[in-house]
Amino acid sequence: AAPSLASTSMKSKEKEKAGHVSKTETEWKKTLTPEQFRVLRDKGTETAFTGAYWNNHENGIYHCAACGLTLYSSKTKFESGTGWPSFWAPIDPTHVKIGKDESLGMERDEVACARCGGHLGHVFDDGPAPTHLRYCMNSVSMKFEKSK
């Protein structure tokens, strides 16, 4: 199992619960940009090396762009060379859900937000120690909160 990191952006010591957010397609279209909707709701993928965070080296926390759930810490971000932001572990394993993705004629493990079900990216088993996992995320699926 992937190690968990405490969120530095949370005010209390209480663990953030994923909970559940449910909206209609129309409601999502009102709150998300067209590109966010394409990736988060229609399971699209942004073009490599074009997202806001693939080359971000600032310290902070990455949240789901749709519902705000904490997803990843810059402490687990690494240079994968893929053109997408990559992490070796989520901030809390209960904040992401892994499912099967058989689109594009291949089988991959999809990563979705546990709170709203938004498509974040995919996880592969070619990452660095200690988990040897690479959570390859779409920048547009996340919002970055810089550490203060």
The catalytic site residues sit at 136
* Residue 59: count of CB within 10 angstroms of its CB: 13
State the alpha helices, DSSP H only, in 24-76: 25-31, 34-36
**CA-based nearest residue to 4, from 73, 104, 99, 60:** 73
The answer for residues whose C-beta is within 8 angstroms of residue 49's C-beta and 6 or more apart is: 83
The answer for residues whose C-beta is within 8 angstroms of residue 12's C-beta and 6 or more apart is: none
* Pairing of the two strands 119-124 and 108-113: antiparallel
The answer for residues whose C-beta is within 8 angstroms of residue 58's C-beta and 6 or more apart is: 74, 144, 146, 147
**CA-based nearest residue to 40, from 145, 98, 112:** 112
